[in-house]
Amino acid sequence: MVRREGWSSGRDGSREVWQTCAVNCGSRCALRLRAREGEILWTETDCGDEEPGNLQMRACLRGRALRYWLGSPDRLNEPLRRVGPRGSGQFEPISWDEALDEIAERIRDTVAQWGNEAVLLPYATAIWSGSGSPFERLMNCYGGHLGIYGDYSCMQLQTACMSLYGDDGYYTGSLLSEASHADLVVFFGANPALTRMGGASGAHRLAQAREEAAREGRPFRVIAIDPCQSDAATGESDAWIPVRPGTDAAFVAGVAWVLITEGLADEEFLHRYCIGYDGATMPAGAPASESYRAYVLGEGPDGVAKTPQWAARITGCPSARIASFARELAGARRAFIMQGWGPQRTALGEQSARAICLLSLLTGNFGLPGTNSGARERLFRPVLPDDPVGENPVDVAIPAFLWSRAVERGRALTASDGVRGAARLPSPVKLIINHAGNALTNQHADVNRTHEILADESLCEFIVGIDVMMTDSMRYADIVLPDVAQAERDVLVSSGNSDGVRGVIVAASWGGNAFDRRCAWDVARDLARRLGVEEAFCEGASTLGEMDGLRLRESRFAHDDEALRELAERGIVRRPYEGETVAYAAFRRDPEGCPLPTPSGKIEIYDQKIAELLAADPGLPVSSIPAYIAAPEGAEAALVGPYPFQMISCHGRQSAHSSFANVPELAVVAPRRLSVNPVDAERLQLVSGGLVVVENDRGALVCRVRVTPRIMPGVVALPEGAWHDADMWGDRLDWGGCANTVSSDEPTAWSHGNPHNSCLVRLRPLTDAERAEAARREAAGRGEVAR
Ligand SMILES: Nc1nc2c(c(=O)[nH]1)N[C@H]1C(S)=C(S)[C@@H](COP(=O)(O)OP(=O)(O)OC[C@H]3O[C@@H](n4cnc5c(=O)[nH]c(N)nc54)[C@H](O)[C@@H]3O)O[C@H]1N2
Ligand SMILES: Nc1nc2c(c(=O)[nH]1)N[C@H]1C(S)=C(S)[C@@H](COP(=O)(O)OP(=O)(O)OC[C@H]3O[C@@H](n4cnc5c(=O)[nH]c(N)nc54)[C@H](O)[C@@H]3O)O[C@H]1N2
Ligand code: SF4
Ligand SMILES: [Mo]
């Protein structure tokens, strides 16, 4: 079908192959490797021609550090069986046969005793980056497994978009390059300069748009509304408006007050396209006093006018700045309003997400060139379908974030906790297959509490881990299997998050199966044989190569001879997207002919389903309109409780989550630091580079400080992804600086999502004993503590 190797073979026995960076930053950039005997000699990337719409799938610093990552001393090389307590990291090597016999037996026994619902494949994102999970296929052939729905990325925003627009907004945002037709770009907690670093991403197009505007003398302003002056707000922005985490809905209400009272709201748009804005647009039976306008003007049940002064007290943003922003927004010819996923990854993130979208509606910046829906920029469906995993015969599913509660509470978990397909969980989770994820501990939440749940072998009885590194999650596995990394295999890979670029790369193996590693697909097939379902497992495609052929035949390139020829000759092909680039353009053009998939066919600022829920339980922390609600670990609580800092854990430049986080070379280029405002640092006598303990009731971690005016006072930011490193049978102080040592696992009330950015902490200096331990660790040659 396609040529895989020998693009250029060197006399030294080396050869050059295409590969991809397949970790979950989601961009799946192209890598060009020269390798010899399983070692990468150098790394290049996509250097092909580019034009607008067909950008290079250029790799960032992480992808280019692939050789350091995959060559790390943390690499798994042989199958292991746990010999110490769960989490202790004590293992003994075993043979593949021993490992697979035991796993097959445990799967068989668990299903026989507890049913298929007792088997969980938890949220794990490294496998999404090119192919489906062979273990999901395996379990689907063997009667199924407990399903999960949603994700850790944008559960609350998806719920918000379902409520407003009737779809989850994942694939319906505008392309970021559409911003080049706007004169004002507004980013709420969006940092594409860091989260979309691949060359084909919208961040790059945005930079080009700015240059174009400057050349042509057109106005083009970027404003970032964020507790941090993120990279989006330095390289790109003209203005940074700091707001406290979780307070976006209050900020928007303050802006709305100015727009409404100064006659700047686009009422014509609101009346034609939306329900719930004011008394005239309320659904039948809903009182006018519950409209968004009434809420803002103080004519609603709380009787409080949401003036900029009111919003300033909550958000920490001066009222004059709220008002000037409102006027600038109203004065823009076209505004492109977009949110990242930081604001919604909070305890009441659904409200923040809906409120931010509302700004697009209040100003009519919706469905027209140069505008967006207020949600994130559009994600693209990959050109190639994933490996088919078949249908899961079990139709019971839980929210992805709730897996640890499903282990802990078993049958006590009910539909009100988010269980779908049954009134309550039919069985507790007894067996976990964790393939390519570090979200058992490190990337989940409240690591110390989760440790208790996992360490209790009477709850989940058996855990299999399949990974490339000995991560913290792998330490909880009863059997650990060493995988050949996706970036080491023969595989067809689709381009990922991009600004419309649709690409395919013929990635070729270069020596990942050194030592005693085996590719997960072959392992799952061996297990299928042991479980008597090999025939079903191999149906349609019995090897990964055949699977790739299938995926290509089902792709949009299947009948594009020119693209196929290019792929065969060059090993890589990319084409620009040529469809609609503006979110909801058809609805804007013809709202009656192309209604939205909402109950009213219009945009639902007022959510009747939520109103019904509230009628049944007025105490629920949700609102039928995008109102601000104070969160238990929010801005107000920080002012009065024992933990005065709001800690957000944004995504880092050094790593994609915990992947690459163990690469010292990247830590030198982009060290992981806790950002602290100079005002707070002076009070607490913190200096840049110094160590500090971050703690709350849930745990304590050690990290290094960066004193910077690029974060607002009262807020600290620690990039997630650091490897948890604590003595779980001792003081549990986390020397690795993993944000989830202190984060909360309390799911959000509406969508049961992860609230990572709602986390109150205090900072304290290290004790003398901790200082001595830090010195001991550094002298022991483990490098700088808290890289
Ligand atoms: N380099 C790198 N890129 C990545 C990843 C990675 O780990 N590393 N991960 C990938 C994945 S899986 C995902 S889900 C995405 C994540 O993408 P995002 O979730 O958008 O990224 P974050 O950095 O978490 O948050 C973005 C911004 O939100 C701000 N923020 C936090 N809380 C609030 C708030 O309450 N209000 C406002 N207005 N702003 C707030 C933060 O300061 C930050 O600047 O990134 C992807 N890209
Ligand atoms: N505090 C806090 N926590 C967060 C977030 C946050 O914003 N704040 N963000 C959350 C989000 S959005 C996400 S998506 C999750 C991501 O969480 P995870 O899905 O756990 O992502 P990673 O940490 O990258 O872990 C992926 C695992 O796969 C392994 N791996 C990589 N390549 C391969 C391969 O080819 N084969 C196999 N078998 N294994 C491989 C890596 O070694 C790593 O252990 O983190 C979440 N956690
Ligand atoms: S981490 Fe993301 S942007 Fe960087 S090379 Fe990998 S896929 Fe591309
Ligand atoms: Mo994510």
Instruction: Write the DSSP assignment of 668-715 as a string of letters.
Output: HHS---EEE-HHHHHHHT--TT-EEEEEETTEEEEEEEEE-TTB-TTE
Cα separation, 568 vs 555, whole angstroms: 15
Ligand 2 lined by 657 (C-beta under 6 Å): yes
Domain-ending residue, one of 375, 409, 441 = 375
Ligand 1 near 25 CB (within 6 A): yes
**Matching residue, tokens 């109103």:** 611
Which of ligand 3's atoms lies nearest the C-alpha of 28?
A: 7
Which numbered atom of ligand 3 lies nearest the CA of 496?
7
CATH number at residue 644: 2.40.40.20
The answer to whether residue 707 sits within a structural domain is yes
In a domain, 109, yes or no: no
Q: What is the pLDDT of residue 625?
A: 98
199 lines ligand 3 (CB under 6 A): no
Give the pLDDT score at 657. Answer: 97
Domain count, the chain: 2
Within 13 Å of residue 27, how many CA atoms lie on the same side as its CB?
30
The distance of Cα 116 from the centroid of its chain, to the nearest Å, equals 28
457, part of any domain: no
Note whether residue 565 is domain-resident: no
111 is a domain residue: no
Instruction: Report how far ligand 1's centroid is from the alpha carbon of 26 (Å).
Output: 13
pLDDT over threshold 70, residue 766: yes
User: From ligand 1's centre to the CA of 191, what distance in Å?
Assistant: 6
21, 43, 61, 68: residue to mutate for ligand 3 pocket, most atoms within 8 A of CB? 21
Is residue 134 within 8 Å of 544, Cβ to Cβ?
no
pLDDT at 162 over 60: yes
C-alpha of residue 628 to centroid of ligand 1, in Å: 21
Among the listed ranges 10-24, 148-162, 357-371, 571-585, which one has the minimum average pLDDT value?
10-24
Q: Which of 202-216, 547-561, 654-668, 772-786 has the highest mean pLDDT?
A: 654-668
Nearest residue to 1 via CA among 573, 570, 575, 564: 564
Tens of pLDDT, residue by residue over 42-60, are 999 999 998 888 999 999 9
Spatial distance between the Cα atoms of 514 and 511, rounded to a whole number of angstroms = 6
What is the mean pLDDT of the segment spanning 593-617?
Answer: 96
pLDDT for residue 237 = 63
* Structure-token pair, residue 147: 């399903």
Residue 348 near ligand 3, beta carbon < 6 Å: no
Ligand 3 binding pocket includes 132 (Cβ within 6 Å): no
Does a structural domain hold residue 34?
no
Q: Which of 170, 432, 657 to mutate to test the pocket of ligand 2 (most atoms within 8 A of CB)?
A: 657
**Predicted local confidence at residue 382, as pLDDT:** 85
Question: Cα(692)–Cα(28) distance, rounded to whole angstroms?
Answer: 35
What gap in Å lies between CA 196 and CA 201, rounded to an integer?
6
- 191 C-beta closer than 6 A to ligand 1: yes
pLDDT at 787 over 70: no
Q: Which of 82-96, 315-329, 506-520, 638-652 has the lowest mean pLDDT?
A: 506-520
Q: Residue 683: inside a domain, yes or no?
A: yes
Q: What is the pTM of this model?
A: 0.97
Question: Residue 304 maps to which CATH number?
Answer: 3.40.228.10
Token look-up 């339980």 returns: 617
Cα–Cα dist 75/659, whole Å: 12
Q: Can you give the residue range of the structural domain that contains 265?
A: 178-190+219-375
Are 182 and 336 in contact, with CB atoms under 8 Å apart? yes
Which among 20, 24, 25, 495 is the best mutation to test ligand 3's pocket, defined by most ligand atoms within 8 Å of the CB? Answer: 25
Q: How confident is the model at residue 635 (pLDDT cuts 50, 70, 90)?
A: very high
The dihedral formed by the CA atoms of 656, 49, 219 and 266, expressed in degrees to the nearest 10: -70
Ligand 1 pocket residue status of 651, Cβ below 6 Å: yes
- In this predicted structure, what is the pLDDT of residue 130? 56
Decide: 656 in ligand 3 pocket, CB within 6 A: yes
Distances (CA, A) of 729 to 87, 105, 339: 10, 31, 41
DSSP 512: T
**Domain end point (choices 375, 392, 414):** 375
Any atom of ligand 2 within 6 Å of the Cβ of 435: yes
pLDDT band at 465 (very low <50, low <70, confident <90, very high): very high
Residue nearest ligand 1's atom 25 by CA: 342
Ligand 2: does its nearest atom lie under 6 Å from the Cβ of 110?
no
- Split at pLDDT 50, 70, 90, the class of 94 is very high
- Encoded tokens for 600: 């009213």
Of 203-212, 356-365, 692-701, least confident by mean pLDDT is 203-212
DSSP of 278-314 = SGGGPPTT--GGGSHHHHHHT-STT-----HHHHHHH
Strand partners of residue 647: 716
Average pLDDT estimate for 16-35: 94
Entry field: residues in the chain = 787
Ligand 2 atom 41 nearest Cα: 659
Q: CA triplet 593, 595, 600: central angle to 5 degrees?
A: 130
pLDDT at 1 exceeding the cut of 60: no
Of the bound ligands, which one is closest to the alpha carbon of residue 652? 1
715, 685 contact by CB (below 8 A): no
429 C-alpha to ligand 1 centroid (Å):
31
- In angstroms, what is the span from residue 262 Cα to ligand 4's centroid? 40
Q: How far is the CA of 126 from the centre of ligand 2 (A)?
A: 6
661 CB near ligand 3 (under 6 Å): no
51, part of any domain: no
Q: Is the CB of 194 under 6 A from ligand 1?
A: yes
Ligand 1 atom 19: residue of nearest CA: 341
Q: Which is nearest to 380 in space by CA: 87, 96, 577?
A: 577
Of 375, 394, 421, the residue that ends a domain is: 375
Q: Quote the distance between the C-alpha of residue 210 and its chain's center.
A: 27
Chain-centroid distance of CA 374 in Å reads 18
